[in-house]
Amino acid sequence: MAEPPAQGCALVTGASRGIGAAIARALAGDGWPVGVNYRAGREAAEAVVAEIEAAGGRAVAVEGDVADHSTPDGLFQAVEAHFGCPVLALVNNAGITDDDLTPTLTDQAWDAVIETDLNAAFRLMRRALKPMMRARFGRIVNVSSVVGLRANPGQANYAAAKAGLIALTRTAAVEVARRGITVNAVAPGWIDTDMTAGVSTELLSQVPARRAGTPHEVAACVRFLASAEASYVTGAVLSVDGGLAA
């Protein structure tokens, strides 16, 4: 088990399955005590924790709907109290889609996706930054999407949220760069998870690598961005998409 790059713990939102679960496992493998956030999937989150502990790591499952404005304080307090240290690595991974073409996209679908995929990340970053500034160390990684970089018909709400997340990442990065805190984004392409399970695989013909990515391939990039070695990488958007955005 490696030493974490700081005397702190990590919080990964939406870590009960998919990309978030892989990120939680990867950070724990680097020695971070990890808060495994979930909304509904308690059993799945507890299984991720058990897997991390079986591999010699430390983790705790923490319930919280990130779309709820009151969630950040409770979430951070639960993780900090459990491990007895501040959250010095935050991964905003929780995300949803609610697809439709723009002329028929409902206010409800627009609001739900913007709230979960963009507004929540802002609120969690705001809560994370104060202890990171005190520690003069912090790692924030936001999970955006290739759809924030190039058009995908039927995903106007998701694209707006993910492009907004990139702008938020860049702006926050330059605001806190002097304080030892890095803020970066990853932009996955098509990754094999529940989110893409029902989507036609025809789209894979557009991917230069001609295959879907795995959650582990995204997690490996997040792991690097959260590491001590990534100390001079900030405001960056790392595509993990088999060449789709190239």
Which residues are near ligand NAP by CB under 6 A?
13-20, 37-41, 65-67, 93-96, 116, 143, 145, 188, 190-191, 193-196
**What distance in Å separates the CA atoms of residue 180 and residue 28, rounded to the nearest whole number?**
22
- Identify which of 113, 107, 165 has the alpha carbon closest to the alpha carbon of residue 141: 165
Residue whose CB is less far from ligand NAP, 133 or 195: 195
158 is catalytic: yes
Contact by Cβ (8 Å): 109, 125: no
Residue whose CB is less far from ligand NAP, 124 or 173: 124
**What distance in Å separates the CA atoms of residue 20 and residue 111, rounded to the nearest whole number?**
23
Q: Which residues touch 163 (CB under 8 Å, ≥6 apart)?
A: 144, 148, 149
Which helix (DSSP H) or strand (DSSP E) does residue 184 occupy?
Answer: strand 181-188
Residue whose CB is less far from ligand NAP, 2 or 40: 40
Which helix (DSSP H) or strand (DSSP E) does residue 35 occupy?
Answer: strand 34-38
Which residue in the list 32, 76, 137, 158 is annotated as catalytic? 158
Q: How far is the CB of 118 from ligand NAP (least distance, A)?
A: 10
Contact by Cβ (8 Å): 91, 23: yes
Q: How far is the CB of 138 from ligand NAP (least distance, A)?
A: 20
Q: Which residues touch 175 (CB under 8 Å, ≥6 apart)?
A: none
Q: Which residues touch 70 (CB under 8 Å, ≥6 apart)?
A: none
Q: How far is the CB of 65 from ligand NAP (least distance, A)?
A: 4
Residue whose CB is less far from ligand NAP, 179 or 192: 192
- Identify which of 19, 144, 11 has the alpha carbon closest to the alpha carbon of residue 72: 11
**What distance in Å separates the CA atoms of residue 194 and residue 210, rounded to the nearest whole number?**
20
Q: How far is the CB of 143 from ligand NAP (least distance, A)?
A: 4
Q: How far is the CB of 171 from ligand NAP (least distance, A)?
A: 19
Residue whose CB is less far from ligand NAP, 160 or 177: 160
**Annotated catalytic sites, by residue?**
158
